[in-house]
Structure formats: C-alpha cells, structure tokens
Structure 1
C-alpha cells in the first residue's frame, strides 16, 4: 500500500475511533471515563505527522463532532484533539515525556478556563451561589467555621487545582499512550522512574517568599490579587515538594533494596493526610540539604 494511502487509511481509522469515543462520552453513562481516552488517537497520529496535517485532522474531527453530537460536544472535540495533537507533536520533536505532559497540562488549563469563562458569562452561571449551596452540605462532625474556611480556600486555589488536574490527566494519558504505542510499534518516550525525579532548588526561594509574605501581610492582602496569587503559589509548591519527598522515599527504598515495601509505602503516604504533610517537609529538606546525595554516599561507604 502506498505511503500516502496508508496515511489516509490511518487518519480515517483514528478519526473513527475518536468519534466513537466522543459519542460514548456525550450520550452514555461512561462519559466521564471515556472522555479520558479521546486524545489518545491524536497522540498516536501526531507522533509521525506534520503540524499542518494535525491541524486539518483536528478541524475535521471538530466538524464531524458538531454534526454527530452538537455544538457543545464539538467544542470539547476541538479541545481534546488539540490536546492530543500537541502532546504527540512534542513527543516527536523533543523525544521526551515531561515536556509533552507539561504542554498537555497547559492545554487543559486553557480549555478549563475557557469553559468556566463561557459558563460564567455566556450562560450567566453564578459560581458564588453554587459555593453557597455547597456550604450548606457541611458534615455535622466538622465545625462551621472550619468548613467555611475550607470552602473559601477552595475558591481561592481553583487555578492551582486546574493545573494539578491537568498534569494528572496528561500523565494518565501519557501512560495509556505508552502502552498502546508499544503494541502499535509507535514508541512514546518514557518518563524517568519517580525515584529519579528532582526539582530545581530555586523553588525553595519562591516557597519561603510566599510563606513569609502570607505570614507578615495576611491581613493587608486579604481579598486582593496578591493573596490569591501567593496562596496558589504555595499550594502548587506544596504539591511539588510532596512529589520530591515521595521521590526521595522511593530512592531510599531502591537504595536499600526494599522493593516489596515500595507499593505499600506509596499507598500509605497518600492515603493519610498527615503523612503527606511530612512528605512535603522531606521534599524541602531533600532539595535544601541534598538528602539523597548524603544517603547515597553513606550507603556506598557501608
């Protein structure tokens, strides 16, 4: 089969799969789960297609999605096609997983913000009224003041929640694309093992600046842009340091040969919130005083 004809057949096949997934995500109870899978065909196409090809394929998918499922689903179709196409193109250009996942998270953030904006200004949905209704669902065991503070915190850190959600979703898509790509002989670049992850030490400076600013100027910044910005920065860096702490723990388990305890360790650290806080502190110390280097030197010396 000529190369051009083969490409056209692959395009048609992947578009058909994506349209079936879009239909299932729109009209069936599997919608929430199936929507995770829509970017996958576009990733698998984009790893060996040009940017103009993926633009036309994405536009064709959006148009067909409009015909089959309507305008709202067509917007979601464009969003998922763009998401998968960008990740696939970066896989092919950078030959690395993390830049593609970061780009996918960026597309997710832009899509989520656009959706919230269209819902707020296009359909006139009042999110404050929704949060007030949520505040009425307070569990009896939780004091009202503490619950109200939690609702207020969630309202402030929505941008960070969207960013973290984008990274998690993109990471899941990456894992699925790697599994499928291996079977289709379209290898997707692999992420490094978590035990080898390490973030820049410069993040510590941003963290301490945010903490000191919140402690010293909390009252004067209340309700301002700076409070929102600093709170989002702090929550995001807390998540980064938690990953750094997890990386250190897995590195230590690998160094000492505790392979059987590793899954138990991971589950325990994320199920119990106090342990997650300790994990964040471990991550800060790991970056600050290079714990893993000291541990590795000590183990090698015996």
Structure 2
C-alpha cells in the first residue's frame, strides 16, 4: 500500500512537471507551441486514468500552485482550464464511457472554463476582449483600405468587411462553444495513442466519420432559426444574438453531417482515404454546398438511399 502511494506521488509529480514543460514551450516557442497547446490536457487525462480521482486532484492542485509561482497568472489560467477539461475526460475514461460521452463531457468542461476565463478577463482589464479584437481587425482593414486607395482601387469591399467584423461581438458564445469542442476533440485524439502506449489502457474510439449522424430534430431547429434570421430581427437584441448563435452552431453541425455523407460516398466507391481528405479541404471552400448535402441527408436519409 505504501509503495502504491509513493508511486502515485512520483507519477503525479512527473506529470505535473510534464505539464509545466509543455506550458513553457506553448508560451515561449511560437511555432512548436501551436502544436503543444493541444497536448496540455494529456497529463491530467493520463493521471486520472492510471490513478483515479483523488491522486489526480492532488496533482492538479500541485500544478496550479507551482505554475502560479513560476509563471504567474497565465500558468494559473492554463492549469485551471486544461486541468478541468483533462480531468473530466480522464474521469469519463476511468468510468469506461464511450468516446462520444468523453467528447461531450470534456467539451462542456472546456466551454465552462472558457466562459469563466472570458468573464474574468473583462473584470481584470475592464474591457470586453471582443472589442479589442474588433479594433485590431478594423485597424488592419483601414491600413489595407489606405493602401488600396493609393493604388486607385475601389474601397467599398472594405466597408462591407468592417460590417462583417462587427458581427464578432454577437458570435462570442458560438466562438467559445466551438473552441471548447475543438480543444476537447483534438486533445482526445492525441490522448488515445498515449493512453495505449503509456497508460496501459485501451480507450474507446469514435465511429468512422462516415457513420456520424445527428438527430433529425436538428433540421427543424435549423429551419426555424433560418426563418427568424430571414424575417429580420433587430440587430443587437437578445433574440438576434440568440438566433445568430444557434444558427451558427447548427450550421457547423450540419456541415459535419455533410462531410459524413462525403466520406460515406467515398467508402462506397472504394476510394483511397486521400480522396475524402482532399474533398474535406475543398468542402471548407464550398461550405454552403456541404451544408446542403447535410440538410438533404438529415431530411431524406441520403446515405440509406445510397446503400440501396
């Protein structure tokens, strides 16, 4: 029993150190840091899977304290946010939940963490970070517009672009939601081989993309919100903000449904994996087309018809 406790303490200290190294690389090595960012939750996931909740929370507490003493507020924020998400994912693995349950649970944890960080930043700096981002974008657009005027080109497009940038302030909930899901998904995909090799654990994996499907009710929600957007809600109103965020999230989900159809069709044709990957990249350039495919699949079970 004593040896087991010592092993947990040593392992927790080692993983806390790994998190610290990953955080320093993420902060001070720009190119490599953009990659190590997604690995920050992995030490917490590994600790939870191997040693359970009690030891994992002790390791998390040590990480928070040491990180704050060494790197200050940024490390504290990273330890809190990635610790909450990583421990949530690890606990769901520990309880042998499905890959989808792990994704949903950790996504919720990350979204909550991001919302808290966002609110805290407003309280600390006394200004909405979205306003700062909009100002930076507008400044860049003005510089581009000035350069365009010097060349004698039409500047109307810049006015339209600035109007679109203003929409950022209304899409903050969508941005936080999407960022939380992306962090959860990428960290989960990274953790799978780590858990297999180091953790001695066989984590559940997702179904192939071609089998992904959302409830048909999403289509009705999408149609209702689209009609509301077409009717014309007052910009800045609560209804407008709610509608545009729901529309954006549903649009992203139906886009994924459309990609699933593309992968299914590629599988049916026996095409090599490089083909659907290239089609995916093309799909981001033809978002509306992919969304239409997703809508048809939701409404008319396009993949079932392909089988027959």
TM over 0.5: yes
Asked if the contact 1:22–1:65 (Cα under 8 Å) also holds between the matched residues in 2, the reply is no
* Unpaired stretches in structure 1, ≥5 consecutive residues: 298-302
Query: Aligned with 1:191: secondary structure?
Result: coil
Equivalent residues in 2 for 1:168-207, closer than 5 Å: 168-184=182-198, 185-207=200-222
Distance verdict in 2 for CA 1:36–1:142, change over 3 Å: farther
C-alpha displacement at 1:191, in angstroms? Answer: 1.1
Q: Does 1:9 align with 2:10?
A: yes
- The equivalences for 1:232-243 within 5 A come to 232-243=245-256
Single out whichever of 160-169 and 189-198 deviates more from structure 2. 160-169
Maintained 8 Å contact 1:83/1:107? yes
Matched with 2:244 is 231
TM norm structure 2: 0.87
Structure 2, unpaired ranges of 5+: 146-154
1-side partners of 2:51 and 2:38: how far apart? 22
Taking a change above 3 Å as real, the CA distance of residues 156 and 258 of structure 1, as seen in their structure-2 partners, is: same
Q: CA 1:94 to 1:150, structure 2 compared with 1: closer, same or farther past 3 Å? A: farther
Distance 2:104 2:21 in 1: 27
Q: CA deviation at 1:16?
A: 1.7
Listed as ranges, the matches of 1:1-302 within 5 Å are: 2-29=3-30, 30-126=32-128, 127-128=130-131, 130-138=133-141, 139-140=144-145, 143-184=157-198, 185-216=200-231, 218-219=232-233, 221-260=234-273, 261-270=275-284, 272=285, 275-297=286-308
Aligned Cα root-mean-square deviation (Å): 2.1
Cα distance in 2 for partners of 1:142, 1:13 equals 57
Deviations 1:98-157 (A, max 9, x none): 222222222222222222222222222354355234223224476133212311222211
Paired residue secondary structure (1:200): coil
Q: Tell whether the 8 Å contact from 2:93 to 2:203 is kept in structure 1 after alignment.
A: yes
Q: 1:7 to 1:214 in 2, by over 3 A?
A: same
8 Å CA contact 2:49, 2:90 repeated in 1: yes
Number of positions where the alignment pairs a residue of Structure 1 with one of Structure 2: 292
Q: Assess if the C-alpha contact under 8 Å between 2:20 and 2:67 holds in 1.
A: yes
Between the aligned partners of 1:33 and 1:100, the Cα distance in structure 2 is 22
- 8 Å Cα contact 2:84-2:110 kept in structure 1: no
